[in-house]
Amino acid sequence: MDRLIALVGLRLKLEIRSFIGRRERVASLALLLPGLLLGTVLMSGLAWLGVTALARTEPGLVLPALSAVTTAVGVLWALSPLLAGMALTETHDLTRLLVFPVPFRTLLASSLVANLLEPAALAKLPVVVVACAALGGSLASRPLVLLSGLLAFVLMLATAQTVGLVLHALSRNRRLHDLMLFVGIGLGFVVSLFPLLLLSGGGRTAGVAVRAVLVGDVFAFSPWAWGVRGAIHASRGETIAAVSLALATFLALLSVVAANAVVARRLYEGALELGPPRGEAVSGRRFRLPGAVGVLLEKDLWLYWRDPRLKAMLLTSVLSPVVLLLLWRGASGRPSPFFLVFLAAFSGLGALGGNAFAIERRGLALLFSFPVDRFAVLLGKNLAAMTLRLPSLVALASVAALLAPGRLLLPVLATAIIAMLMGAATDNFLSILYPTPVPDPGRNPYAPVSGSRGLTAVFVTGLLMMAALTLASPFVFLTFLPLLLGMRGLLLFSIPLALAGAAGAYLLLVGGAVLLLERREPELLARVLAEE
């Protein structure tokens, strides 16, 4: 029992530490607890209002609607380790405990109990209780309603834990780890598109689809829905159906726990070894581009392409403006010229905040150890960032060419390039003044580090964004001047002139950033390596 308590305590401590940074512990706690409470109150309120309103207006939809909601939550929770990269964190890592002489049952029990006691899980418990209360029913049926609801909740937690454990086991193989990371970020991107879809007029189509799903009650066979369906039947006094569904949920829970035990047992016995993390040889020699700028550019491009996290971010950055453009069109027909210019500037300015040195992480010490002129370093980093944004601009231009008047295509593209140049140039200042600290060696290189950029950096980012827009505006104006004057032929002169002017301004800004970098290089390094 002592070992069980110690293990559960360890898990809880790790969970809390993943929320709370070292330096801002008190401040984080002050934000975390009210945040959790507020979220619980809001969700409980929503659950109460949703269930009672549905029962009053569409009583026939209560069963299918709540089945759909619990299934959606269950699936999202099951995928949450993937979506949040949780499969790769230490909380699911039983292997760290294998060196201790802990009996398997204790290890398994600690894992399950700690999962139930997670602050984030406990915060959702009142929501379940309130939803069950909202179902109503006689006083005698209430215990069965609550029991069924709680069984559904525990089943969701257990499934998420089992999936997390499986993903963690698989992630010990680098190829699978990379694949899961890539898929997880892609899924996260797709999920994040739903609100946009609803806001942009796609809601009507989605509404029809949802109604069809509800009328067909397609989630009746989802194990996550059985508990809730049991609760609804119990509230209606249909005891036999309620007890049957509660039993089915319990059996599903036992199966999931058994699956969890099997995976954990194989880990415990060292049988779940997917082989050493050796990938295939990477063929071909690199670094064909000339000079230090070319070498840096090529290096960054390869690092982006080979890192699943960076690659997924790159692909989502390509898709984001296109999706935005298509959704906007869905809402209001043809995009206006103003919207296109705004979208081009927004896409280009994405270079600001990209953090020129972020990809280096601890390698920044290595980069600064080379005797390379700092102008070349910044130019190489900016060129890489801009090259990586080019596919996004090409995609945007292609869609704009299909949707917008042809005369706007070149000026819009030029606007995006000008904004990108100014964004990259100003980002250098941000990267030098407010670098992002990286985790200690041996830790997840992508984990957040306390004491990172801070609120001042947010304020300065805003200022720099304004500065970048201000700097870009005369060149953008020059680009559009022929259209404003109704002399389209002049675009052939105005666009190259505007681009050349923007390039000149960019080089001047990089020169200024180099002076700053030369003064602050060791401090920058100390801050990135969190040694200050």
Provide the minimum distance between the beta carbon of 66 and another protein in the complex, in angstroms, as a whole number: 46
The verdict on 56 binding another protein (CB under 8 A) reads no
| Span near another protein by CB under 8 A; candidates 70-78, 292-300, 396-404, 418-426 | 292-300
* Cβ contact 237:137 at 8 Å: yes
Sign of the dihedral defined by the CA atoms of residues 432, 434, 436, 437, in that order: positive
> Which of helix, strand or coil describes residue 461?
helix
Return the structure tokens found at 210.
């949802």
Told to check if 371 binds another protein by CB under 8 A, we report yes
Contacts of another protein in 413-452 (CB under 8 A): 441
Single out the segment in contact with another protein by CB under 8 A; choices: 37-45, 313-321, 409-417, 520-528: 520-528
Q: How far apart are CA 102 and CA 414, in angstroms?
A: 64
d(CA 158, CA 349): 43
Q: How far apart are CA 21 and CA 243, in angstroms?
A: 46
Residue with smaller CB distance to another protein, 20 or 176: 176
By CB under 8 A, tell whether 373 contacts another protein: yes
For another protein, give the closer residue by CB, 68 or 296: 296
Using CB under 8 A as the binding rule, whether residue 368 contacts another protein is answered as yes
User: Applying CB under 8 A, which of residues 56, 271, 369, 484 lies at the interface with another protein?
Assistant: 369
Closest by Cα among 189, 170, 192 to 179: 170
Q: Which residue type, as a one-letter code, is found at position 299?
A: K
Among 168, 172, 229, 299, which residue sits at the site for another protein (rule: CB under 8 A)? 299
Give the number of residues in contact with another protein, rule: CB under 8 A: 37
101 interacts with another protein by CB under 8 A = no
Please, which residues have CB within 8 angstroms of residue 117's CB and are 6 or more apart in sequence? 8, 12
Q: Does 306 bind another protein (CB under 8 A)?
A: yes
Tell which residue, 347, 354, 330, has the closest CA to residue 431: 354
Binding residue for another protein, selected from 6, 176, 243, 303, defined by CB under 8 A:
303
Phi-psi domain of 355 (left: phi exceeds 0; alpha: psi -120 through 50; beta: other): left
The three-state secondary structure class of 333 is coil
Distance of alpha carbon 367 from alpha carbon 365, whole angstroms:
6
Nearest alpha carbon to residue 304 among 422, 387, 394: 387
Applying CB under 8 A, does 273 fall inside the site for another protein? no
Which residue carries 């670098």 as its tokens? 435
Q: Is 528 in the site for another protein (CB under 8 A)?
A: no
Binder among 1, 271, 281, 455 for another protein (CB under 8 A)? 281
Site stretch for another protein (CB under 8 A), options 60-68, 127-135, 283-291, 332-340: 283-291
**Exposure on the CB side of residue 263, measured as CA atoms within 13 A:** 20
Checking phi first, is residue 270 left (phi over 0); if not, alpha (psi -120 to 50) or beta?
left
Kindly tell me which of 99 and 282 has the beta carbon lying closer to another protein.
282
Query: Which region, judged by CB under 8 A, interacts with another protein, from 49-57, 208-216, 247-255, 291-299?
Result: 291-299
Q: Which of 366, 455, 484, 489 binds another protein (CB under 8 A)?
A: 366
Residue labelled with tokens 């979220």: 39
Binding of residue 20 to another protein (CB under 8 A): no
Contact call for residue 271 and another protein (CB under 8 A)? no
Among 97, 307, 476, 513, binds another protein (CB under 8 A): 307
Q: Given candidates 285, 338, 455, 484, which one binds another protein under the rule CB under 8 A?
A: 285
Is 511 a binding residue for another protein by CB under 8 A? The answer is no
| Of residues 290 and 406, the one with the C-beta less far from another protein | 290
Q: Which residues lie near another protein (CB under 8 A)?
A: 174, 277-279, 281-283, 285-288, 292, 295-296, 299, 302-303, 306-307, 361-366, 368-373, 441, 521-523, 525-526
